[in-house]
Amino acid sequence: MPWDLDDKDVCEYKVDPSNPDSIPKFVDELPVPKVLQPTKVLKSGAYYEVKMQQTKQRLHKYFPKTTVWGYNGTYPGPTIETLKDRPVMIKWMNFLPNKHFLPIDRTLHAAIDSPEVRTVVHLHGARVSPDSDGHPEAWFTQGYRERGPSFSREVYKYPNNQQAATLWYHDHALGITRLNVYSGLAGFYIIRDQLELRLNLPSGKYEIPLLIQDRTFNEDGSLFYPDGPAQPIPGASPSVVPIFFGNTILVNGKVWPYLNVEPRKYRFRLLNGSNSRTYTLRLSNGQKFYQIGTDGGLMETPVELDTLTIMPAERADVIINFSGSKHQNIILTNEDTDENTRNVMQFRVVLPLSDKDTSTIPETLYPLRHLDQNMAVKVRNLSIDTVIDRYGRPLFLLNNKMWDDPVSETPEFGSIEIWNLINLTAFPHPIHVHLVQFQVLDRIPFDVQHYRDTGEIKFTGEPVQPRASENGWKDTIMATPGEVTRIIMKFDGYTGDYVWHCHILEHEDYDMMRPLRVIKSYNT
């Protein structure tokens, strides 16, 4: 066994990383990613240099070290923090090896004839110009030696001209995003503003980001990712899989960690950074918690919840009050039939209260300007469907189009549009639109067969209001099966080429992603 023999703890348990039943839970303390300091502070803003590097990290106390990819050599990457309207510039640099350690499907776009290891960084939820958005074809290799067709700059500019929010940065390279993110390329990016700072929310060591991800390991502790479906695909090996669920849950890069907390309020910025898995979270002692923010920032008012569902790439800002739970061990659970993935992490309310908790859960948080349906100049019907590809594999498509079909979503700059996400498949997809934050109008049940036959929407029931946890600015939304999920957004900020896609990374890579081009308004 390739254990690190210098680690005294190693032989205490017979741990097989590939078998989650053998992995003791809650033996590692939750790591909190470090906040990155700028390389230099210029008049024009803070300038950072971030290197993507391969490294080895101990993801569980009783695991050998695991090879991962990290920003500045850490998984998750360091947290970048800024104030609203204070520009940030980041030179993203690729120092990764030339070979990927996960299986590449050469039948996918860009994976056919491009260099194997290519990267590009997308700041998810940010309003940025197209050349800093991390277009999937703006990839680059080590030292920028090779560059994708959309590559235009080494240093990305983030104006942060948007309200305080939990954003995250992650890899977005065409055809291999699922592998690059799974390898570890993800981190938090937090925008703060004066309005939020005045709210007296739990802060400092009482404000903690939680990146939740599922992984599967090989026996030697290395990351396992399937090289194809159980039934091999002739002509496509390795092959992308239609969905991937890991059997082990990590938070901030540790397997099933624990966190010692004081009996007081804490603010947690939850991010589902998993490839495919959706979590329905709950506290094992049944206590309620308060959601204060969605993807795009703080909500109008806090929402009291006992469960919270988040799909890949969705964020939820929550406050948990441990003041009535002294000496309890509380598990953050996930609704699941599997005994292992039913656990996410543990809170131990064992620390003494170090000071009086003066933080609050304000009754009102942040003004929310509701977008008016009557102001929409366009309604787009956009189907979500699946076909069978030439290898017999399922292929999920937006509006029945492939990634490289001509652009069809071309909103005018400054215009408001309603998008009808018409899900004809049997399960939900998290749909993400770049550049904008949108609002959910409702979900309306419709006749799937009728739509297939005629291309027309026939509603079969009353509109269902968005869940309480979705009442705010969103950039990623669950498009539920058998329903038309209606979202409304204003295409503000920039013109140019962006994308919209499913955030199940296995879908995004094959081919559930479409160009989005914001065009100049004809009226100006």
> Interface with Cu ion by CB under 5 A: which residues?
429, 502, 504, 507
Per the structure block, which two tokens stand in for 405?
A: 């079909």
In whole angstroms, how far apart are CA 117 and each of 148, 154, 177, 182, 230?
A: 12, 17, 11, 14, 25
Alpha helices of 346-495 — where are they, by DSSP H? 448-454
Reduce the secondary structure of 384-427 to three states and give it as a string.
Answer: EEEEECCCCCEEEEECCECCCCCCCECCECCCEEEEEEEECCCC
Which amino acid would we find at residue 37?
A: Q
**Is the peptide bond preceding residue 87 cis, with omega within 30 degrees of 0?**
no
Nearer to Cu ion, 213 or 321 (CB): 213
Q: How far is the CB of 174 from Cu ion (least distance, A)?
A: 16
Distance, CA of 176 to CA of 48 (rounded, Å) = 25
Nearer to Cu ion, 181 or 365 (CB): 181
Q: Is 337 left (phi over 0), alpha (psi -120 to 50) or beta?
A: alpha
Nearer to Cu ion, 223 or 477 (CB): 477
In whole angstroms, how far apart are CA 27 and each of 88, 196, 252, 392?
A: 37, 35, 14, 44
Strands (E), 18-87: 40-42, 45-57, 66-71, 77-83
Nearer to Cu ion, 25 or 507 (CB): 507
Name the residue whose CB lies closest to Cu ion.
Answer: 502
Instruction: For residue 470, report the phi and psi dihedrals to the nearest 5 degrees.
Output: -110, 5
Q: How far is the CB of 150 from Cu ion (least distance, A)?
A: 23
Q: How far is the CB of 501 from Cu ion (least distance, A)?
A: 8
Q: For the chain, state the CA radius of gyration.
A: 22
Nearer to Cu ion, 214 or 412 (CB): 214
Which residues face 251 on adjacent strands? 212, 254
Nearer to Cu ion, 368 or 421 (CB): 421
Q: How far is the CB of 22 from Cu ion (least distance, A)?
A: 32
Q: Are 212 and 274 in contact (CB under 8 A)?
A: yes
Nearer to Cu ion, 28 or 214 (CB): 214
**Burial bucket for residue 198 (CB in 10 Å: 0-12, 13-18, 19+):** exposed
Nearer to Cu ion, 161 or 399 (CB): 399
Q: What angle do CA 411, 416, 421 make, to 5 degrees?
A: 75
Q: How far is the CB of 393 from Cu ion (least distance, A)?
A: 14
Q: What angle do CA 433, 434, 436 make, to 5 degrees?
A: 85
Nearer to Cu ion, 316 or 477 (CB): 477
- What is the total residue count of the chain? 524
Q: How far is the CB of 171 from Cu ion (least distance, A)?
A: 18
Q: How far is the CB of 214 from Cu ion (least distance, A)?
A: 16
Residue with tokens 């977008």: 371
Q: How far is the CB of 291 from Cu ion (least distance, A)?
A: 24
Q: How far is the CB of 447 from Cu ion (least distance, A)?
A: 22
Q: How far is the CB of 504 from Cu ion (least distance, A)?
A: 4
Please tell me whether residue 8 adopts helix, strand or coil conformation. Answer: helix
